[in-house]
Amino acid sequence: MSILQLEMGKTGMSEALLTDVRFHRLLLAFDTDLARRARAGRCVRCGGVLHSARYRRKPRGLPAGLGEEYRQRFSFCCAKRECRRRKTVPSLRFLGPKVYAAAIVVLRSALTHGATPAARRRLQALVAASRRTVTRWHRWWCETFVSTPFWHGARASFDTPVSTDALPASLLERFSGDPATQLLAALRFLGPLTGGATVLAM
Ligand SMILES: [Zn+2]
C-alpha cells in the first residue's frame, strides 16, 4: 500500500511519519554514514586530506527533540590552505538549500496528487508551509528537477517509466514497502542531487 493510499484512508500515516523522531534519527544515521565514507576520500582537486567543515542549517517543520546535531549539514574542506575546496556530502535530511526538511518537501509535494482535501488540510496544518511555498515546490519538481542531469541519468534505472507529471508521488510509488520504507528509499535515491549542487536553487 502506498503513502497516497494510506493518506486517502484515514490512518494519518503521513503525519505520523513526519512527527516520528525515530524516523528522522534514522535519516541522520544515514547521513552520518555517508559523511564517514566521504571523509575517507581525498580532495578531488589536489588529493589533499579532508577536514570537517560542517555548517548549521535551520530545517523547518521537524518534531522537537532531534537535538543540535540534526541541524548540522555534513561538509568537508580540503586541508591545503591554497586549495580549500569544499565537498558537501549527499544528505537524506536536506534537499539543497530548501528551508524545509527533505522528507517534508517530498511528502507534502507528493500529496498534491491524489490526497483528499481533508488530508491535505491536515498536512498543511502540520507542515505550516504556505500554499505559495507548496506551489513553488510543485514547479520545482515539474521544471527544475526533471531538467537536472541527475534525473536524466537516473530515470533510466526504473523498469516502468516514472510519470514526470505526478512527481514526486510517482517516484515514491516506484519503491516497495510501507510508507516509511518508500520515503526512505526516495530520499536515498535523491541523495546524489543534494551534494551541494547549485541546480537546486529555487
Ligand atoms: Zn584540495
Spacing, Cα 58 to ligand 1 middle (Å) = 28
- C-alpha 186 – ligand 1 centre gap (Å): 32
Looking at residue 31, its amino acid is D
DSSP string, 147-158: GSHHHHHHGGG-
pLDDT band at 131 (very low <50, low <70, confident <90, very high): confident
Least confident of 6-15, 44-53, 77-86, 114-123: 6-15
pLDDT value of position 62: 85
Centre of ligand 1 from the C-alpha of residue 46, in Å:
4
Q: Residue 198: is its pLDDT beyond 60?
A: no
What value, to the nearest 5°, has the Cα angle with vertex 67 and ends 18 and 85?
A: 100
Q: What is the pLDDT of residue 13?
A: 63
Is pLDDT at 3 greater than 60 in this prediction? no
Distance (Å) from CA 27 to ligand 1 centroid: 29
CA of 43 to the centre of ligand 1 (A): 5
Distance CA 53, CA 50 (A): 9
Q: Can you give the pLDDT at residue 114?
A: 64
Q: How far is the CA of 168 from the centre of ligand 1 (A)?
A: 36
Highest mean pLDDT among 2-11, 124-133, 144-153 belongs to: 144-153
| DSSP-assigned letters across all residues of 10-76 | TS-HHHHHHH-HHHHHHHHHHHHHHHHHHHTS--TTT---EEE--EE---BSPPS---GGGGEEPEE
* CA-based end-to-end distance of the chain: 32
Q: Which of 34, 32, 41 is nearest to 79 (CA)?
A: 41
State the average pLDDT over residues 141-157.
92
Which region, left, alpha or beta, applies to residue 59 given φ > 0 means left and ψ of -120 to 50 means alpha? beta
The model's pLDDT over 101-129, given as tens digits with 9 standing for 90+, comes to 899 899 888 887 666 777 777 777 777 78
Residue 135 has pLDDT above 60, yes or no: yes
pLDDT, one tens digit per residue, over 24-72 is: 999 999 999 999 988 888 998 999 999 999 999 888 888 888 989 999 9
Domain ranges of the chain: 3-200
What is the number of residues in the chain?
Answer: 202
Q: Indicate the helix (H) or strand (E) that contains 87.
A: strand 86-88
- Half-sphere exposure of 148 toward its Cβ, with a 13 Å CA cutoff? 19
Distance in Å, CA 116 to ligand 1 centroid: 51
Question: How many whole angstroms from 57 Cα to the centroid of ligand 1?
Answer: 25
Output the pLDDT for position 144.
Answer: 92
